[in-house]
Chains A and B, each alone.
Chain A
Amino acid sequence: MTEEDVTLAVKDIIQTVAPDEDVASLDPSKRLREQIDLDSMDFLDIVMELRKLYGVQVPEEDYKELATLAGCVRYLHPKLAGKTLHCATSV
């Protein structure tokens, strides 16, 4: 599994949670909240999707690791190791 794969999987989840946003052109190093309209409930949705799709639990104290796309990838890469990444459909 490459970083590229994890990036795609994360983007896919963000797109699921925020269908109207342009996720493809996100800058990995900038804060997600500065680029697209995400509030704390949306972060919760992202966390819930991770749990649903990959069985990954993100404790509340780790939410800060998910602030940027690059941060998400760094944090999730080891947790997703060995799992089959799939693209969620929008509903």
Chain B
Amino acid sequence: MKYDAIVIGAGMSGLAAALRLSQHDQRVVVLEKHELWGGLNSFYTLGGRPFDVGLHALTNYAPPGKKGAPLTRLLRWLRIKHEELRLGEHALSEILFPGARLEFTNDFARLESEVERLFPSERAGFAALAEWVRAFEVREDAPPAPSARALLAEHLREPLLCEMILLPVLMYGSAREDDVDVQTFAILFRALFLDGLSRPEGGIRSLLNLLVKRLKQNGAELRTRAGVKRVLVRAGRAHGVELESGEVLEAPVVFSSAGWVETMALAGEHVPRAEVGRLSFVESIWVLDCAPAELGHRAATGFYSTVPHARYRRPDGLVDAHSGVISSPNNFRAEKPLKEGILRISVLANHARWKALDGAQYAEAKQRASEEAAAAVRTYLPEWRGHAVFQDIYTPATIERFTSHAGGAVYGSPKKHLDGGTGIAGLYLIGSDQGYLGIVGAMISGVAMANRHVLMKLAGRAEAPVS
């Protein structure tokens, strides 16, 4: 079969890239290895209950029509109306450290006043930091600025405040341990704090359904259980893929969301193992017999650390519960409340350790990891475990199995490729390893790369306008 473009992976970036291309009459096929689409943001049913993978919150909230906002741009590009997403904002989220708690909402003034309350001398510094982020523009040719810690220290004097601002940013998208480059920091600070958080009514399924429905209306194909075994390269140029079944599909352009290391391996190129991401998570999900708010827990998202100097690195043991994310989907505004209460806790985990366990050890280790996470947040949450009616736990091994990301790495390789280039003509990266993270980020990545490497050329323009 011949196509105009092939997309590897039906995650957020792949679906968005394909949708964008199909709007312009490109013949596109999306090839997904797994039987379901969504990738790191997928869904499953267990014990008769629907669960979301990934989705805690959609970052980059913007009200309908807000000019220049990343969400507005994305919806425009995908021709989706804001109301179709049915976004419910969070009423409140929190950053929890020993003896210090900051609340934030989608009104940035709230975080500013919280900072002022806890750290009165930091008011001006924090405002200047926010101003710096607002003025920041993503540029491919920007000189490398590796340390957000250094940036924070330039603006703020209180080490605890630096930690409290950095932790959510790291947790929501740093592929590097304990720090993040300044560009990613700016993107994520904006995504989390200046724009804010929301959740689509119905969870990730509604967003995925919308994307998949549109794709099909536009005549694009989505093939599941269609793992790509090889990217076919002739004379330095990609010309198609071979599936695990042996079937060959041809196209002059291949977009891959499989990740940098993974994609290069598919193309027969060797990439040093050191470029595999190190950060993965164990997530424990408790289904409760009541809403978390009824127990007194009102935050939609909580970024916590039990120590003043937050840890964000691969643990030596199976997990490190000293820091993590608490998520309660019930605490987003919704037309229809969720049927049951849900509480999720994600903590950092070591992929290699989990892979080394056999069946019985693995089940037991999952249980232990979730006990550790629950114990760690004890001081931050009202007692909830007496209300649990069901539990599920997933690990780096689960993530690797369902997304094929090496090392179960959630935020990809620390090496990013902003222009999508791989060194092989016609083969482009989309998603985490192109450089945009999270659900909205992954979709923006797919669209931006489709614009740049296909649509601009179709329209006869050599240079892509900066998005």
A21 in contact with B65 (CB, 8 Å): yes
A20 touches B81 (CB 8 A): yes
Q: Which residues of B contact A52 (CB under 8 A)?
A: 24-25
Does B48 reach chain A (CB closer than 8 Å)? Answer: no
Q: A18-B76, A37-B72 are in contact. Are A44 and B455 (CB under 8 A)?
A: yes
Counting chain B residues whose Cβ lies within 8 A of the other chain, the interface size class is 20 to 34
Chain A residues proximal to chain B, CB less than 8 Å: 16-21, 37, 39-42, 44-45, 47-48, 51-52, 57, 59-60, 90-91
**B217 interfacial by beta-carbon distance below 8 Å:** yes
Are A17 and B455 closer than 8 Å at their CB atoms? Answer: no
* B79 contacts A by Cβ under 8 Å: yes
Interface of A is mostly: helix
Q: Pick the contact of B460 from A19, A37, A59 — CB < 8 Å?
A: A59
Contact of A91 among B25, B73, B217, B451 (CB under 8 A): B217
| A-B interface contact total, Cβ < 8 Å | 56
Give which listed residue, A21, A39, A44, A60, contacts B73 with CB less than 8 A: A39
Contacting residues, chain B, for A45 (C-beta < 8 A): 77
Known: A41-B451, A91-B217. A47 touches B79 (CB 8 A): no
B65: nearest chain-A partner, CB-CB: A20
The answer to whether A60 and B460 touch across the interface, beta carbons within 8 angstroms, is yes
A31 to chain B, nearest CB (A): 15
The 17 listed contacts between A and B (C-beta, < 8 Å) are A17-B76, A18-B76, A19-B76, A20-B81, A37-B67, A37-B72, A39-B467, A41-B451, A44-B456, A47-B459, A48-B455, A48-B458, A52-B25, A57-B460, A90-B79, A91-B23, A91-B214
Is B93 part of the binding interface, using a Cβ–Cβ cutoff of 8 Å?
Answer: no
Q: How far is the CA of A40 from the CA of B76 in the complex (A)?
A: 12
The closest CB in chain B to the CB of A16 belongs to B79
Instruction: Report Cα–Cα, A72/B460, bound state, in Å.
Output: 20
Q: Which of B77, B214, B217 is within 8 Å of A41, CB to CB?
A: B77
The reply to whether B465 and A40 contact each other, CB–CB distance below 8 Å, is yes
Chain A nearest CB from B446 CB (Å) reads: 14
Is B80 engaged at the interface, CB distance under 8 Å to the other chain? yes
Q: How far is the CA of A40 from the CA of B461 in the complex (A)?
A: 12
B82 at the interface (CB under 8 A from A): yes
Q: Does B218 contact A (CB under 8 A)?
A: yes
Contact A41 B79 (CB under 8 A): no
- A41-B465, A47-B459 known; A20 vs B76 contact (CB < 8 Å): yes
Q: Is B207 an interface residue (CB 8 A)?
A: no
What is the CB-to-nearest-CB distance from A67 to chain B, in angstroms, rounded to a whole number? Answer: 16
The smallest beta-carbon distance between B106 and chain A, in angstroms, is 19
- Map CB proximity to A onto B44-80 as digits: 1 under 8 Å, 0 otherwise: 0000000000000000000011011000110111011
Chain A residues within an 8 Å CB radius of B76? 17-20, 37, 42
